[in-house]
Structures are given as C-alpha cells and as structure tokens.
Structure 1
Amino acid sequence: MNTFLRVFLYIFLAIGGVITASSLLSPLMILSVPLTLLCLAIGTIYVAVVLVLLKLSPLWAKPAPLWVTASLLWGGGMSMLLVMPSSLGVSELASAYGPDALVMSWAGGYPEEIAKAFGIFFILLCFRQFNRPWHGLLVGIVVGLGFEINENILYATMGGPTHPTSDLLGMLTTWGARLLAGPLLHAIFSGLAGWGIGWALYAANWSAAKRIAAAAGWTFVAFLLHFAWNFMPTSDVAYLIQIAVLSLTIYPLFIWVMYRAWTMANNDRSYSYSPGAVSVLSRP
C-alpha cells in the first residue's frame, strides 16, 4: 500500500469507526442496557458466522484482520455517512416526480450501492493481498455485511417499542423478520458489485472497455436487484409475488457467482488470474 492510500485508509477508518460506534450505541437511547447488549450480541454472532464461513472458503485473503476491519467499517460507517445526505434528497425527488411505490427503491438502491461499490474499489486498491477477481466478491460481501448489520441493529432498535407489551419481543421480532425475509441481501448485492470490480482490476489481458463494462455492469445489476426489492406495491398479494420472484432470482444468481469464484480460486496457481493461461508464478 502506498503512502497516499494508507493516509486515506486511516482517515476513512477513523471516520467509519466513529459512525459505526455511534450507530451501535444508539439503541441505548431507546432500549435498556440489557436489551441493547442482546441486540448487539445477535449482530456480533451474525457477523462472526458469515466471516467464519468465508474464511473456510478458498476465496479468503491473508492476512485478514485489517482488510476485514476496513470493510466492515466502510459498510457500517462510511457508507452510512455517504448515503444519509443523498438518500433524503433522492427520496424527495422520487416522491415529487414519481409514484410513491418507487420512493424506497430510489432512496435505497441508488445511493447505497454506489457508496458500497466505491468502498469496495478503494479497499481492493489498499491491500496487496488482493490480486484476483474473486477478491472483489469477497470484499464486497464483507462491506455489505457491515452495512447490513448496522441497518439491522437500527431497525431492531426502532422495532422494540412497537410491541404493545414488551420491548424485548418487539426487538426480537424485528431481528427475526430481518434475518428470515431476505437474509444477507446487502452482502449479496455488494458481493455482486465486487465481483465485477474484481474482474475490472485483476483480470489479465482485458481491454479498458471490458474492465469498465464489468465493473459498471455488475454494479448496475446490484442496483437493479436492490431497486426491485425495495419496490412497494399497493397490494399485499403483489408484494408476496414480488418477493418470491426476486428471491428466486437473487439467491440463485449469487450461488452461481460463488460457485464460479470458488472453482476458479481452487484451481488458480497464478498471481494474476487469466482464463486458460499457463501458470508462471506461484501463489504468494
């Protein structure tokens, strides 16, 4: 990592750390200390399980502590900082000039995926252990995980007081809904964007146009899927059909990308991945 990138990385880590810490402590404004600790414990377990599964995969890049921390803080901190101002403006524009059903689509899909994609690109440039296309997928998943866990904690905090008799039940119900109705969506969306960014940065013998197309194309796929997921039809039946159709699109697509990345990582012995190329450098 050169000095210029290192300085910016530390600045972003500091800002992201402050924002993430503020978000994680925000439940204390609404919930009791025990409920806040329980809410944070659920989030911590969620993150730990995903990271352990990723570490067991051939996609994992070592050493990991700093890039994992940077990715989580970008997702949970810097992305939030970038999204909040633009999300409000986008919401107002969408509400003024478009149907109400699209307000959340624009407010979520547009600023969030761009903010996360920028973080993925920046983090990939900051660490020398990233040198293969699937590392973009890996970093994207962790960046999205940071965003998702922060968002889930905020929603669970607000959901606590909505239960008529118990803040605990309100918080747990909200957590359960977030875990069951679209689990890991932010991680998946960011992972798909990262898949394209990884190819743009690390594929060998690609033209500039092909690299730009890969990064922009997969980031657009992430935005489009996020946009569609946030669409709010007026009919409950239409909403259930929408969720079912999108689930049968998003998860199989992500599984396919993971399968490709997993297979390539298992078979790779070169420093820079090139389909069909003879390996001349050993794995670092």
Structure 2
Amino acid sequence: MSRPGAGAPMGAIGSAPIDAGRGNWFQPRSALFWVYCAAVLAGPLVFLAQAAGMVRFGGAQAMAALPITAATLVFFGWVLFALDPFRARRRLVAPIVLGFLWGASVWPGVALWANDHVTHAVTNLAGDSFASSWQAAIAAPIDEEFIKAIGIAVVAVLFRSRLRRPMDGFLIGGFVGLGAQISEDVLYSVQTALAAPQNPVADVLIVALLRLVTALTSHWAMSALAGVGIVVLLLRTDRSWGWRWGFFALFYGMAVLMHFVFDAPRPGGPGWLLMFLPVIIDLTIFALAYRWVLGVERKWLRANISQPIARTLGSEAQLASLLTRRSRRRARAGLRAATGMGRRQARRYEHELIDRVELLAEPQPQPIWNYQQTPRR
C-alpha cells in the first residue's frame, strides 16, 4: 500500500463501492422468513408474560443503567468489527441486523422460560444443595446457547447465498450473542432495582459496570464460535456430513464450555481471581478458535491477491501489506509520508482496497475450503 498511484488511483478504488445490501433482506417467498418475523414479534410478548411485574416495579430505576448498557453495545459492536480485518461485514449488513434482533427479542423470553424449567429439573434430580451451586452452570449453557444457535441457523439459511467464509458465521453469531447480552443486561438491571429498595439506582449502576467489565467473553464471544460451526456445517460441501457435524460440535462445544466456565461456582482464592479467572479461561478458548478463523481469512486474501487480475488494483507489495495489522500500519505510514494523506484518508484508502479485493471473488465466489493460490508467472 505504498501510494495511490501504484496500480489504481484512489479515485478509481472508491468509484464502485461494495453493495452492502446485496440481496434483499425482505424475503416474502420464504416460509422461514415469516417464521423468523413471527418469532421476533412474539418474543417480547413471551418475555412480558413472565416478567411484566418486574418491569412494572423495577423498570424506572433500571433506566439509570441505560447509558452503560448503550456503551456496552457500542464497545462490543466495535470489538466484533475490529476482529473482522478484511471487512466481511460489508456483505452482511442485513444478516447482522436480523441476528441482533433475534438475540434482543426472541432470546430473553424463551431463555427465561427455559431456564426455569431446566433449573427445576436439576433441583428435582440432584437436590437443593447441588442445584444451588450448579443449576446456573448446567441450565444456561444448555438452553441459552441452543436458543441463540437456532437464531444463527435461521439467519444463516436465509442468507446462505451471501456466506463465503467462517468469518461470516463469526459475525452473525457474534451479533446474535450481542443482542442477547444487551437484553440480559437490561433484565439484570431490573432485577437489581427490585432487590435493592434502599438505594436501587446506585446498585443498578454498580451491576451494570460489573457486567460491562466482565463481558469480554460473554454471549457475543460464545455465539461467535457457534456461528462459525453453523456456517461451516452449511457450506463445507466437500466433506462428509459426519465431518461437518463433527466440526460444528467442536465449535458449538467450545461455546457451551465457555458458558459453563462463566457460570460455574468459583474456587476459593482472592476476590479478583474469583471475578476474572473464568474470563481468563474463556478468553484463552476464544483466542484459540479465533486464531483459526483469522488464518482462514488470510488464506482467502492470499488466494485473491495472487490472481493476475489483482494487479489492476495495486502492486504485489501493496496488496501483500493487507495481510497483517503490523504490515498495514507500516503501509499506512508509508502512504502518508509519500502523499501527505491524513490518518483517516490513509485508512479509508486501505478499506477501499480491501473492498476491491473482496469484489474479485464475487462473480465466482470460492468455497471456504478451497483457497488455492494461482501460480505466479
């Protein structure tokens, strides 16, 4: 990414922007689309049928946490975009929005109902003593992850023609989980307001801040891994169904394991360790899975920039600089030194170049399992 004149001028790069809405989100001929719509509309009603009293008596005080909850939404939305270095999100605006709506509207009421039934089953089977310690760690990973996975699968099937790579599932799953995370934060604020009649606003703010601090590996991260498994299950047609289900089980199992660790009883030790040990363990699981996803992303980029047609976008060195964050920073610095661009202009040029590379694959999208580099001449 040495200078705009190398290969294609900046004006040319930006002259044909990616169609972020490629393929309409409105699919009236799809029965599954109408099932999705019915679920999204019914979800809040299911929630209010169970929690109307809580909302009525604790909703006003819980409003104090809305700025922190909004900050949680913005921050972890930014994190998900930051984990998408090659901008797959440009193809996935509608799937991301519909996924978030599923997590925010369908998940809360169904999860509340399911948690009650699963925790009662745990109590009946294992007794009150065991259930008081382990019911959250058993119930939540089972039903909450399953409800989110249904939403991921529904959205992935609706937009299957747009899916290209595991990163697509990572983003759809991440935003389904983020919707669930935000709705759960609101529910916790209401419950805290009811449980603290003396000074509810202060307690609501404290709980909201704790939820923000400990959300580094919360629902968004768990569902992102489940989304990878679901998309590979749908798209990896070169493998047997047994292999595809095994891959799905691995990534979905990691999501369930992260949730179990997050809710499991804490061992003895210092207070800071009790709070952050589950986050450390979950972050390790998440990082290992994300490393594989990022490796596939780089493999995809190498395959595209190795095509002879890619030379119309820029020089070989210019395109190769897109592969890692470090090389991109160096390339942006060199671009600014050579052209006098500002930081924002250099970053915009980089993004437009990535979007053009994405377009190279659009006429005949390569399957996620067959990125073969074209031999160089």
With the length of structure 2 as denominator, give the TM-score of the two structures: 0.64
Q: Once the 2 structures are TM-superposed, how far is the Cα of residue 69 of structure 1 from its aligned partner?
A: 2.5
Q: Which residue of structure 1 aligns with residue 76 of structure 2?
A: 50
C-alpha distance in structure 2 between counterparts of 1:20 and 1:88, whole Å: 13
Identity in percent: 18
Alignment counterpart, residue 30 of structure 1, candidates 50, 58, 63 = 58
Q: Which structure is richer in relative contact order (CA contacts within 8 A, separation 6 or more)?
A: 2
Q: Once the 2 structures are TM-superposed, how far is the Cα of residue 143 of structure 1 from its aligned partner?
A: 0.8
Q: How is 1:1-284 mapped onto 2 (pairs within 5 angstroms)?
A: 3-16=30-43, 27=55, 29-32=57-60, 35-56=61-82, 57=84, 58=86, 60-98=88-126, 99-100=130-131, 101-127=133-159, 128-163=161-196, 165-203=198-236, 205-232=238-265, 236-237=268-269, 244-268=276-300, 269=304, 270=361, 271=365, 272-278=367-373
C-alpha distance in structure 2 between counterparts of 1:85 and 1:72, whole Å: 20
Q: Deviations over 1:207-249 (max 9, x none)?
A: 111111111222122212312322225x653997666543332
Q: Is the 8 A contact 1:39 1:156 kept in 2?
A: yes
Which blocks of at least 5 consecutive residues in structure 1 are unaligned?
280-284
Q: Once the 2 structures are TM-superposed, how far is the Cα of residue 275 of structure 1 from its aligned partner?
A: 4.8
Q: Is the 8 A contact 1:159 1:174 kept in 2?
A: yes
Q: Is the 8 A contact 1:17 1:77 kept in 2?
A: yes
Q: Is the 8 A contact 1:54 1:60 kept in 2?
A: no
| Alignment CA distance shift 1:149-1:11 (3 Å) | same
C-alpha distance in structure 1 between counterparts of 2:71 and 2:154, whole Å: 27
C-alpha distance in structure 2 between counterparts of 1:208 and 1:220, whole Å: 17
Letter in 1 for 2:96: V
Q: Is the 8 A contact 1:229 1:243 kept in 2?
A: no
Q: Is the 8 A contact 1:59 1:134 kept in 2?
A: no
Structure exhibiting the larger radius of gyration computed from Cα positions: 2
145-154 vs 203-212, which moves further: 203-212
Q: Once the 2 structures are TM-superposed, how far is the Cα of residue 172 of structure 1 from its aligned partner?
A: 0.6
Q: Is the 8 A contact 2:47 2:110 kept in 1?
A: no
C-alpha distance in structure 2 between counterparts of 1:221 and 1:162, whole Å: 33
Letter in 2 for 1:46: T
Q: Once the 2 structures are TM-superposed, how far is the Cα of residue 77 of structure 1 from its aligned partner?
A: 2.1
C-alpha distance in structure 1 between counterparts of 2:39 and 2:254, whole Å: 27
Letter in 2 for 1:42: I
With the length of structure 1 as denominator, give the TM-score of the two structures: 0.82
C-alpha distance in structure 2 between counterparts of 1:19 and 1:73, whole Å: 15
Q: Once the 2 structures are TM-superposed, how far is the Cα of residue 104 of structure 1 from its aligned partner?
A: 1.2
| Alignment CA distance shift 1:14-1:25 (3 Å) | farther
Letter in 2 for 1:261: V
Alignment size in residue pairs: 276
C-alpha distance in structure 2 between counterparts of 1:37 and 1:241, whole Å: 31
Q: Once the 2 structures are TM-superposed, how far is the Cα of residue 151 of structure 1 from its aligned partner?
A: 0.8
Q: Is the 8 A contact 2:171 2:224 kept in 1?
A: yes
Which blocks of at least 5 consecutive residues in structure 2 are unaligned?
1-26, 305-360
C-alpha distance in structure 2 between counterparts of 1:210 and 1:243, whole Å: 37
Q: Deviations over 1:53-95 (max 9, x none)?
A: 4335225333544322321221122223332332222111211
Q: Which residue of structure 2 aligns with residue 282 of structure 1?
A: none
| Alignment CA distance shift 1:164-1:9 (3 Å) | closer
C-alpha distance in structure 1 between counterparts of 2:48 and 2:90, whole Å: 26
Q: Once the 2 structures are TM-superposed, how far is the Cα of residue 142 of structure 1 from its aligned partner?
A: 0.7
Secondary structure in 1 aligned to 2:238? coil
